[in-house]
Structure formats: structure tokens, C-alpha cells
Chains A and B, each alone.
Chain A
Amino acid sequence: MTAPVLRARGVRIRHDGSERTTPDGVGLEVRPGEVVLVLGPSGSGKSTLVLALNGLVPHAVPATLEGSIVVDGVETASTTVAELSRRVSMVFQDPDAQIVTGTLLDEVCFGPENLLVPVEAVLARAEAALRQVGLWERRHENPDRLSGGGRQRLAIACALALDSAVMVLDEPTANLDPVGIDEVYAVLERLVQTGEHALVLVEHNLDAAIGLVDRVVVIDRDGRPAFDGPTRSVLRDNMEALVGMGVWLPSAMLAGRRLRAAGHPVPELPLTPTELTALLDTLVPPASAVPVGAAAGSTEIDGAVELAPAGNAVSVRGLRVVKGRSEILHGVDLEIERGAFVAIVGTNGAGKTTLLQSIAGVAAPPRGTVEVLGIDPARVDVRRLARTVGFVFQNPEHQFIRGTVADELAHGLELQKTGPAEIERQVGRMLERFGLTAQRDVHPFLLSGGQKRRLSVGTALIAGAPVLALDEPTFGQDRERAAELLDILNGLNAGGTTVLVVTHDLQLVADHASHVLVLDAGRVAAYDRTAAVLASGALEAAGLAPPPLVRAFRAAGDPAWHALTRLADLDAPSASRSPAEEAP
């Protein structure tokens, strides 16, 4: 067996000013050509650990590091980050925060130039790297013109140009839409096939990653090492422990687990969508798992919708929106019934956010084109609007305007001229509902990511708005935060709130939305119940790829599986819950 290029032993890291030590005693070995996935729940210190691999911890991020990390024979603690960059390269989560120069070529050359590589060698490396990620033809363009997936491929090319033995990728697809995720993994797959690169990956999107991974290292909630070994055996042998820990697993595996719980013979859990399809072909679809067409919608979440009184929450008629010189929406007609959970999907630039902002009155639509519960957002004042529709921005910080959590919630009620006693009562109720009672006097900016998100939903709801609109609420968040938010939204929806969500996450759509609205180039391509839209091929027609689970079901030989779209469809009545719901 070859010697590891990277060996970490007993790594303990404590950020300055923090009480917690995460990771706490974790070891890691990476051999040439190997792909190692680091898994763990939020707060386990995965990202901190990988930042230590190229010396950013402790050299650039103030923290104390114990234990030893040796890369290519060099101890990271006693070597500069610049020197280590020849050995370990990094790709971060946010593609925008990694671009320094003005053209793709300059960007890729940036690293080798800093290392004083001679000009000819810089250019040779840059060309090879850009060709590997398929961007050589665009080398003279400004990186701003690339899509999110394109910019992340550029970041990979920049890492390749450093010619390092190990490449570390920290949640490289968390900020990307499904098309971007596919692009990045297509590139990574080619890299792995060359066998020349060792990769260390932190990733929540396991459906895309799992096919590449040789070995998994699991860190538990306290930052302690939990498991370390070959992918299949670690995941299959310890699945229940991993689910209990709050670690996200490939959806094919969770589907297999549910099938097993429903009484199907599942000798070996599938890891990839392809394996799930192969498994399905060996099974007999039960009668109960054959919801076709309209019947598919009438399970669980949708039950509440059926009982709700008819009537529309939102009517849109001939909505055209012009921004600058171009028309974004070309005459949208839409009726959304009360109590629906609507997901608005579409490729970038399809007009999703514009439509949502028009409905919620964030950007006033032309008069007489939008009606929300009897009012026209273009004509009413902020006070009336806030009582009717609440809007949650993508980044919760953008909408915080007061100095404490309690004031933040009270603000909406003060606008409504509510009495102080009533404000106090309602704020207290809202704090309790969103688990923020202990933080009532904290500045909103000092909350954790999840708390900020909950507060932003609370402020949108406190004036009593029966319609809630959210713009990409799960973008850039890890799975656990996303699941927590969706639980809140499901609860609100069950209580009668009409929820509208713009999102890229199509599995979220399949699992939670009652209706899907597909926008394509400023027009409504489809609007119907979720199952009907997923089965209709409207997503593909609008340039979107269906979620992995849907693809796996649809690829099965027996058409009885084709209409299934989500994990819950597989449940026998007594089956256990998904890890999202079990995570605290």
C-alpha cells in the first residue's frame, strides 16, 4: 500500500474565544488518488478540520491547534500557508468569494504566479487546468459572466494549477443550482478518473458525491471521531447510528431503508440512484405504492389542502414586468388557492424572484394585475401589506432593522399601532413558537444562522399575514438548517398559511410542496399539483433536471414505480421518519 500524502493525527482545534473544541481528536489519512469524504452534523467541526489541512488554521484563522498534520512530509503547524499551497489546494463554498482578477486566464495563473513559476510554465499549467474543467475557450472572459457552476469549475481549475498533491473541497456545491451541481461533479469525476489527484471532500449533497468517494470519515456532534473506513461498509454497517447523529445520507440509501421498513426484501442498501433503480427492478411494487396522476397528490401534506375551504389566496392576471430595457415576465396568469404550499422553480433568469416580489409587493407590480386576498399590492400602504403577505429575503440579515430580537418582532406590530400590552403578549408568543425566548434581548446579528432564519420568518408573520413568501430560503444553508426551516413551513402550512417558495432545491419541492409552478423564460410553463408536474416532464422541458430520487424511480423497469416522487411515498404506515425530522 502506498504511503499517505496527508496524515492527520489527534487533531483538536479550538477557535479563539470559543469554549468548544471541534474537531476533538480526529485523525485522517489520504493516499494518492484517493477520495475521502468528511461527514458530520452541523457544528462537528468538519470545515474547521479541512481549513487546518492547508494551514489556514491556525495561521490565518485565530485558533489553537493540537495534534499533528503532515502533508508530503511537511508539518502544517510550522509551515506557511503559501508554502503549503504547493501541497494542498482549496476550493471553497462561495464561488464569488474566490475570484480575484479580471479574466479566467489571469485567475488560473494567479496561484502559480505567486509561487514565482516561470511564465511558460504558468501558461502551460493554466491551459491544462482550464481544459480539464472545460473553460479554455472562454479564457479571455470576465469570471462574472460565468454561471455559478462555471465559476466553481473555475475555482477547481485554479486549484489544479497549483499542481498540489491534495485538493480540498469544502461544500463546493452548496451555493449552486442543480445544473451547476451536475457540472461540478462531471468535472470532479473526470479528475478522479485520471487517478492523479487525492481529494478531501466536505459535502452535504451526497447523491452527487457518493459515487466518487473511496473512504468516509465521520465526526460526531461533539467533534469526536466516529467512523473511518471504506464508503460502503461505513455507511451500510452504521446507518442507524449515522441517522441518529443527524448526518445526512444519500437519498437512495434512505429510500432503501424505507423500502426495507415497508417489508420489501432489501438485501443490500443502495448508495447511488443507479443502484436504487437496480434494486427497484428486483422488487414487486405494492399496490399502495402506485399513486398515479391526481391520486399521487392526496397523501399527507396535501390532506390539509383538500379540507381547506376553496378560494384563492393569490390571483395574477396578465402580469408583465419590465426591468431596465428587458421584459422579465411576459403576461403571467395564475390562481393560487388558499392553504397551498407552492414551489416556484425555473432556471436562472426565468423570472422566479421577480414574480414572487410582485406578488408580495416588494417591487410594486403594475396596478390591477395582482390580487392577494382581496388587496392589490400596488395600491396599499406598507401597514396593510404587512397584514396580508409576509416576505422573507434570502439573507435574513438584510431585513433586520432593530437592536434586539424582541424589538425586531415588535416592529411589525408597532406599525399596526397595536397597544403595548398586546405587543408584549404577541412577541412573547412568537419568541416561544420559534424557540428564541432565551435570545429576546440579543442583537439579531449575533444570532446563529438557524436562529436568524427563524427570526426572519417570525417578523414576516407577526402582523398576522396569512400568506408567506420566501426567496431561496435554503440557498447556501446546510441540510440540517434547511430541514429545520421546512419543518417550520410545514407546520405553518398545516395551520392554514399559504406558503410560496422560490427554490432551486427540487427534492425539497418534491418532498414538501403541494403545488409546483414552473417558470420558463418569463412564462408559466406548468402549474399543478406536485406529483402531476413531476410526472409531466415540464421540469425537463424548462431545462431543469428532476431530483435524483425521481430520476431513480422513473428509470425503474416497472412503470408502477414511475409516479413515486418522494421518500414519504414509500412508507408503510409504521415506517420510521427521515433523519431531517429526527435531527434536533
Chain B
Amino acid sequence: MSAAAATRARRGPVDPYADAPDHGPVRFLHRLNPLAKIAAPLPAIVALIVSRDIAVPLAFILIALVLLLVGAHLTGRALLGLFVVLPVAAAVLAVSFGLWADASRVDTTPVLFRLGDYRFHLGSLAVGTATSLRLVAILVLSLVAGLTSSGPDLVRALVQQLRVPYRVGYTALAAYRFVPRFGHELEVIRQAHRVRGMAAGRGPVAAVRRWIGYVVPLLAGGIRHAERVALAMDSRAFGAHRTRTERHLVPFRVRDGVFVIVFWLVTAIVVTAGILRPFPFLEAS
């Protein structure tokens, strides 16, 4: 194992606090303001929520994937998720949503298969696919910001551009530290309860009882920890003034504006084309 690999192994899978890495001018998404990356796909996401057909979500999925492939430095894990897990999930969702679709509205379309009295129509699959693609498109669009921004940068941008009070932003960031700690603590509590024979009993009622048993010690520990962190932050002048010195500026530059406007224009074109329906064979029903 090389030294670098060893470092990575020790660091664990993700360091949510790591500085946003710079992967060069081609991987431009990493250099954009996190707010721009959230604002740009917002109209598209709203359009997807109200859209019914297959072409619009498909177009947005393609746009987002191309953006990510070109503009983002993707790890092997992210690539696997985007190009293997996501299509499989989309297919499963399409069939599942199809089963839920109202069969009376699509009973003119050919029957794909039967289960006893139940007939699964091509129309059902089309409706299921449309719904599933909408969900996938929303997910992929949010990944444009999600895979290329760091938590601290987002907080800084919220404080610097949106004038969110820094007390709120930095408290949220500090609270994020609790998550792995809670995870570990929960694991120990479950172990302890198992040893004491709390695992007895199966089924949902016993499971709920077990979880209530975990919550009390978890909360007791969590509140104590939060109080200590608060005292430590107070002792270091947190909240002394309305603003604080910012060493890392996360500016909103011309390129951020260009990115947002271009993305909005593309969104408008895709949505307009979707309404005009130039590809009737892609229509769900």
C-alpha cells in the first residue's frame, strides 16, 4: 500500500470538512459558487415536479450527466452510482410505479404480462417510467451541486451572499460533527442492550420498544455533549459581533452568473420543446 493510499484509508471514505479540492479549469464545477450550482437547476427541478412526459426528464438527466462527466471530478464510487446503480433503480421504480398506475386509463394499450386476473399494460409501464425518470432527473440535478461543493463552502456562501447570520451557519456546521459521534454511540448502546438481553422479542412492537430504549441514553449523551460544545464555543468569542473575519471568501463571480443564466436558458428551451412535443413517440399517455 502506498503512503497516499494509506492516508486515504485512514481518512475514511468521506471527509465532509475537507477544503473543496481544485481539479483544474476543465472540472469547472468545483470552482463555482455553491449557491450558483443550487440556483441554476432550481427552475428545472420545479418544471420536473409538474411535468408528465418522458422526454423532458430524459433531457435533463442527459444534461446533468454530461455536466458532471465534464465539469466534475468523479470518484469511482460516484461513477458506479451514476451509471450502474441509478439506471437499475430507475428501472425498478418504473415497474413499481407502473403497478400502482390506474389500469382503467391505459387498458387500450397492449398487455405486457398477466398475473392471475391482473394485466400489466404497456401504458402502465409508460406512466411508471415517466414518474421514475422525473425522480431520477431531480436527483441527478441536485448532484451537480452535491458532488462538487463542500459543506463549509456552502455555509460561507450562505453567510456571505445570502446574509444568513453566521451564528446559524456555523452552529449547523458544528452540529454536523455530532453525526459520526452519534453513530458510534448508537452502536455501543445497541451492543450494551443486546448483552443485557433487550434483543428478546421479534416483530415491529418489540423493535419500537428497543428503539425507544436506545433514544434515552442517546439523547442524554447528546444534550450533555451539545452543552459542552456550546460552552467551548462561547469561550472562544462565538457570537461576539454581528460579523466575523472571513479568511475564505466564496465570491459570486461573473462566471457564476453566466453558469446560472445559461442553465436557465437551456431549461427554458427543454421545457418549451417538451410542451410543443416534437417527439410524439416519447409521450407517456
| Residue pair B241, A116 in contact (C-beta under 8 Å) | yes
A112→B245 CA distance, assembly (Å): 8
A41 within 8 A of B: no
Please tell me if B84 contacts chain A, counting CB pairs below 8 Å: no
Q: Does A149 contact B (CB under 8 A)?
A: no
Interface magnitude class on chain A = 35 or more
Interface residues on chain B, size class:
35 or more
Neighbour of B234 across the interface among A81, A118, A361, CB < 8 A: A81
| With A114-B241, A158-B236, A398-B188 as contacts: A102 and B247 at CB distance below 8 Å | no
Which residues of B in the span 1-49 have a Cβ within 8 Å of any Cβ on A? 10-11, 15-19
A98 touches B238 (CB 8 A): no
Q: Which residues, 53 to 69 on A, are CB-close (under 8 Å) to B?
A: 54, 56, 59-61
By the criterion CB–CB under 8 Å, are A56 and B225 in contact?
Answer: no
CA distance A145 to B200 in the complex (A): 38
Which of A86, A92, A162, A401 is packed against the most chain B CB atoms within 10 Å? A401
Complexed CA–CA distance, A266 and B121 (Å) = 99
Residue contact B197 to A411, C-beta cutoff 8 Å = yes
> How distant is B256 from chain A, measured CB to nearest CB, in Å?
23
Q: Mark B261-284, 1 if CB is under 8 A from A, else 0.
A: 000000000000000000000000
Determine the chain A residues whose CB is within 8 A of the CB of B216 once the complex forms: 400, 445
| Option from A56, A117, A140, A412 in Cβ contact (under 8 Å) with B196 | A412
A399 at the interface (CB under 8 A from B): yes
Complex Cα distance, B192 from A386, in Å, reads 12
Q: Which of A80-115 contact B (CB under 8 A)?
A: 80-83, 85-86, 89-90, 92, 94, 96-103, 106, 109-115
**Is A248 on the interface with B (CB-CB < 8 A)?**
no
A111 / chain B contacts, CB cutoff of 8 Å: 236-237
* Residue B235 CB within 8 A of the other chain: yes
**In the assembled complex, B208 has its CB within 8 A of some CB on chain A:** no
Known contacts A113-B246, A145-B10, A397-B217; A362 and B241 CB within 8 A of each other: no
Contacts of A101 in B (CB 8 A): 17, 152, 173-174
- A412's partner among B151, B197, B220 (CB-CB below 8 A) is B197
Given A362-B191, A411-B197, CB of A97 within 8 Å of CB of B229: yes
Q: By the criterion CB–CB under 8 Å, are B243 and A116 in contact? A: yes
A63 to chain B, nearest CB (A): 13
B154-202 CB contacts (< 8 Å) to partner A: 170, 173-174, 177, 180-181, 185, 188-189, 191-200
Task: Give chain B interface residues in 218-257, CB to chain A under 8 Å.
Answer: 220-221, 225, 228-241, 243-247
Q: Are A113 and B196 in contact (CB under 8 A)?
A: no
CA distance A445 to B217 in the complex (A): 8
Minimum C-beta distance from A362 to chain B (A)? 5
Residues of A within 8 A of B217 (CB): 397-398, 400, 445
Q: Which residues of B contact A386 (CB under 8 A)?
A: 195-197
- How near does chain A come to B239, taking the closest CB pair, in angstroms? 6
Contact A60 to B18, CB < 8 A, known contacts A85-B240, A383-B197, A398-B217: no
Instruction: Give bound CA distance, A158 to B185, whole Å.
Output: 27
Decide if B213 is an interface residue (CB 8 Å cutoff).
yes
Contacting residues of chain A (116-172) with chain B, CB-CB under 8 angstroms:
116-119, 122-123, 140, 142, 144-145, 158, 162
Shortest CB-to-CB span from A210 to chain B, Å, is 26
Q: Which residues of A contact B213 (CB under 8 A)?
A: 401
Is A459 interfacial (CB-CB < 8 Å)? yes
Contact, CB under 8 Å: B246 / A401: no
Q: Bound state CA distance, A383 and B197, in angstroms?
A: 7
Q: Of B189, B243, B245, which is within 8 A of A118 by CB?
A: B245
Q: Shortest Cβ distance from B109 into chain A, in angstroms?
A: 50
Does A341 count as interface, using CB distance less than 8 angstroms? no
Complex interface: chain B residues within 8 A of A142 (CB):
11, 15, 17-18
CB distance from B3 to the nearest CB of A (A): 15
Q: Which residues of A contact B181 (CB under 8 A)?
A: 96
Determine if A399 and B196 form an interchain contact, defined as CB atoms under 8 angstroms apart.
yes
B191, A363: Cβ atoms under 8 Å?
yes
**Does A395 sit at the interface, judged by CB under 8 A?**
yes
CB of A162 within 8 A of CB of B17, answer no
Beta-carbon contact of B192 and A82 below 8 Å: no
With an 8 A cutoff between CB atoms, is A393 at the interface?
Answer: yes
- Which A residues lie within 8 Å of B177 (CB)? 99-100
A362 to B194, CA, bound (A): 8
Compute how far the CA of A459 lies from the CA of B196 in the bound complex, rounded to whole angstroms.
Answer: 9
Q: In the complex, what residues of A have CB within 8 A of residue B236's CB?
A: 85, 89, 110-111, 114, 158, 162
Alpha-carbon distance between A112 and B188 when the two chains are bound, in angstroms: 37
Cα–Cα, bound, A397→B197 (Å): 16
Contact between chains at B232 and A90 (CB < 8 Å): yes
Question: B247 touches which one: A89, A109, A144, A397 (CB < 8 A)?
Answer: A109
B192 A393 Cβ-Cβ under 8 A: yes
Given A383-B197, A411-B196, A98:B245 Cβ within 8 A: no
Q: Is there an interface contact between A97 and B247, defined as CB atoms closer than 8 Å?
A: no
The verdict on A415 contacting chain B, using a C-beta distance below 8 Å, is yes
> Complex Cα distance A397/B239, Å?
33
Decide if B197 touches A100 in the complex (CB within 8 Å). Answer: no
Tell me, rounded to whole Å, the shortest Cβ–Cβ distance linking B16 to chain A: 7
B36 to chain A, nearest CB (A): 22
Q: Which of B74-89 contact A (CB under 8 A)?
A: none
Which residue of A is nearest B199, CB measured?
A382
A206 to chain B, nearest CB (A): 24
A100 touches B233 (CB 8 A): yes
Bound form: Cα–Cα A119–B235 in Å = 20
Alpha-carbon gap, A69 to B131, bound state (A): 67
Q: Give every chain B residue within 8 A of A401 (Cβ-Cβ).
A: 193, 196, 198, 213
CB of A391 within 8 Å of the partner chain: yes
Residue of A81, A83, A102, A114 near B16 (CB, 8 A) is: A102
- The residue in A80, A98, A363, A383 that gathers the most chain B C-beta atoms within 10 A of its C-beta is A98
Given A96-B181, A140-B19, CB of A362 within 8 Å of CB of B195: yes
Q: A355-377: contact bitstring with B at CB < 8 Å (1 yes, 0 no)?
A: 00100111100000000000000
How distant is the Cα of A188 from the Cα of B196 in the complex, in angstroms?
Answer: 43
* Minimal Cβ-Cβ distance residue in B for A383: B197
Q: Please give the distance in Å from A235's CB to the nearest CB on chain B.
A: 30
Pairwise interchain contact A97-B235, C-beta atoms closer than 8 A: no
Contact (Cβ within 8 A) B17 A393: no
Determine if B174 and A114 form an interchain contact, defined as CB atoms under 8 angstroms apart.
Answer: no
Q: Report the minimum CB–CB distance from A164 to chain B (whole Å).
A: 10
A79 to chain B, nearest CB (A): 12
Report if A114-B238 is in contact (Cβ < 8 Å); known contacts: A100-B177, A103-B17: yes
Q: Choose among B10, B174, B193 the residue that contacts A399 (Cβ–Cβ < 8 A).
A: B193
B231 touches A92 (CB 8 A): yes
Contact A102 B15 (CB under 8 A): yes
A89 contacts across to B, CB distance below 8 A? 235-236
Can you give 23 A-B contacts (C-beta < 8 A)? A81-B237, A82-B239, A85-B235, A90-B232, A92-B231, A99-B177, A100-B174, A101-B152, A102-B152, A113-B245, A114-B238, A115-B237, A116-B240, A119-B246, A144-B180, A360-B195, A382-B194, A382-B195, A385-B195, A386-B196, A393-B192, A397-B220, A412-B197
Given contacts A94-B228, A411-B196, 4 further A-B contacts (CB under 8 A): A97-B229, A102-B15, A114-B238, A397-B217
B residues near A, CB below 8 A? 10-11, 15-19, 151-152, 170, 173-174, 177, 180-181, 185, 188-189, 191-200, 213, 216-217, 220-221, 225, 228-241, 243-247
Q: Show the binding face of A for B, using Cβ within 8 Å.
A: 51, 54, 56, 59-61, 80-83, 85-86, 89-90, 92, 94, 96-103, 106, 109-119, 122-123, 140, 142, 144-145, 158, 162, 357, 360-363, 382-383, 385-386, 391, 393-395, 397-401, 411-412, 415, 445, 459
Q: Enumerate the 3 nearest inter-chain pairs by beta-carbon distance, A residue then B residue, closest first.
A: A102-B17, A82-B240, A97-B228
